[in-house]
Chain A
Amino acid sequence: MISSPSPSPSPSPSSSRTPKGGSATPPPRNQASKWRSGAVRGVYGRRLLDALRATGGGQPRAVKAAADSALALTARGQTRWSRAILLAGAACSRRRVLVKAGGKVRRRRRPPLPVQARDNAAAAALLKGKGKEKDKVQERLRVLGRLVPGCRKLPAPALLEEAADYVAALQMQVSAMRALTDALAAAQLSSSPADAEAGR
């Protein structure tokens, strides 16, 4: 049922347009809210525990790999970095399984990749600074691309979006692991004297 024509329709389209920033992609979601919900923490906690059970023991590298894979799983493969982590785990030993194909599977955006790749230098540089400052920004963007897994050759807007999601995910990972270690340490402390007593 159409309401009577009023000014109200126009603010809503325009206000709904502003957060999108005129982008051709779906609006950048609020990554922090996505990664801070209790449900996600629960999912990640469970996956982390499974991964930890699977690891062969007290090797920090294995634990870190397990934690990262669990994090990437929790990300549901919707982001590049999560896919890159999972595929890195998958392709480590044997045949490099379809890395590129796997990376393009669940794109939620239309991927004008050639255009983006071509415009990368232009987009990142032209829009982020003037004169010599472009280089600094470019350099930092490249460093950021190296830090975020699977995002080396990404153009600026996609890279920033991936970085935002990655930062939020990392924060959740750190807090979850910290809670886990504290809980385990506390449980261990409380249980080991009891065991010692029972054993005696």
Chain B
Amino acid sequence: MRHASPPQELPAAAAAASGGEIQAALAPATASSTAAGTRGGGGSFTALLGLPTSQAMELLLPRTAPPPALALAPAPAPAPAPAAAPTPTFPSDPHLVDRAVRFSTFAPPSPSPPPPPPPAAAAAANAGKRKAEPIDRASKGKAAKKGKTAEEKPAGGDGDDEKPAYVHVRARRGQATDSHSLAERARREKVNARMELLKELVPGCSKVSGTALVLDEIINHVQSLQRQVEYLSMRLAAVNPRVDFGGLDSFLTTECGRIAGFNCKNGIDLEQVTWPEMGVHGARQLMQLQQQFWHGDLAHPHQVASQWEKRGDGHLPVFSNSNPSLFGYDLTSSGTQQTPATKLKTEL
């Protein structure tokens, strides 16, 4: 039977399981782990809902170890909840089932899980939402625990597109648990987190308390930075006409000395090609091309500079010719540059 299967097999099997094939796979093989293996993958707890109850429960209830939650996520190993394994709870009332689907709570575990069909679905839905913590907290016996189902962010991160996205908020003791206050609390936490970031960034904000004053400081800082940029640009403009950009190599090496030099065949072509592109196509293409350009640039940072120096006259006139197209967005540049760009894509 299923229960005899080694615990490690289950997560792997469930992880391998994909949606939709479960019923078909289950029909012939009742409780073998191989059947579990053929069931296919993460994120398809909805398929579990269609399962006959006992098999769903088998799927969900490994006696020894981890969790039903695996059926869902691309089974990140830490995610599954150990404590839930033996006794997930199955509320029998339909409205409780409905709530259980939306909320990630578990009633105190019962020794022998009764298998009515909707609870299996509810359990599947609940279990599927990576409930390590709710299970732990439910087992701690806190009353009035409630939480909105969370936006799924399994440790793998990019496994599932089928799961709905919710915001996971855990209500603490003594706090209101209706959905409005939960939403407000979530928003507040978001904003406060970003405020913390800003406070760290802006010097002198840590001692100021109160949002308005902190925002004041931030505004002052931004204004001062912008004024500094203007001042420095004025100085740079004053220095510019008399500089022949000859000693730039030394400047670059001092600025970014520890950047590893990747091997770059097309460092120059990247820049020659992409800059004229921007004028022709829409902003979207601009972003795409720039992304490619940036990828390439970051991959070959140091080589580009040295190649500029080597290419010298042959390169610079071309470069300065195409450069105004970046800043002036001259739309007369031809569209035939597309092929170099596509070649650029493949090379990247």
Q: Which residues of A contact B (CB under 8 A)?
A: 1-10, 12-14, 16-17, 19-25, 27-28, 30-32, 38-39, 41-43, 45-46, 49-55, 57-69, 73-74, 76-77, 83, 86-87, 89-94, 97-99, 101-103, 105-106, 110, 119, 123-124, 126-129, 133, 136-137, 140-141, 143-144, 147-148, 156-157, 160-161, 163-164, 166-168, 170-171, 173-174, 176-181, 183-185, 187-188, 191-192
Let me know if A188 and B133 touch, CB within 8 A: no
B130 at the interface (CB under 8 A from A): yes
> Does B243 contact A184, Cβ atoms closer than 8 Å?
yes
> Does B238 make an interface contact (CB < 8 A)?
yes
Q: Complex Cα distance A44/B13, Å?
A: 48
9 contacts between A and B (CB under 8 A): A1-B12, A4-B65, A8-B78, A38-B259, A52-B236, A54-B324, A167-B202, A170-B226, A184-B240
Question: Please, which residues of chain B bring their CB within 8 A of the CB of A188?
Answer: 239, 242-243
Asked whether, in the complex, the Cβ of B294 is within 8 Å of the Cβ of A171, the reply is: no
* SS of B interface (majority): helix
B71-105 Cβ-contact flags toward A at 8 Å (1 or 0):
00001011111110100000000000000000000
- Let me know if A127 and B326 touch, CB within 8 A: no
| A173→B187 CA distance, assembly (Å) | 32
Give the complex CA separation of A63 and B238 in angstroms.
10
Closest to A169 in B: B225
B111-131 residues with Cβ-Cβ distance < 8 A to A are 130
A-B pairs with CB below 8 Å: how many?
Answer: 333
Q: Is B179 an interface residue (CB 8 A)?
A: no
CB of B176 within 8 Å of the partner chain? no
Known: A42-B256, A167-B201. A147 touches B236 (CB 8 A): no
Contact B298 A9 (CB under 8 A): no
Kindly state whether residue B169 has any CB partner on chain A within 8 Å. yes
Q: Which residues of A contact B219 (CB under 8 A)?
A: 140, 143-144, 147
Q: Which of B200, B282, B304, B305 contacts A101 (CB 8 A)?
A: B282
Is B336 interfacial (CB-CB < 8 Å)? Answer: no
Q: How far is the CA of A171 from the CA of B190 in the complex (A)?
A: 24
For the complex, give the distance between the alpha carbons of A83 and B79 in Å. Answer: 37
Cα–Cα distance between A52 and B240 once the two chains are bound (Å):
8
Q: Which of A5, A87, A93 contacts B66 (CB 8 A)?
A: A5
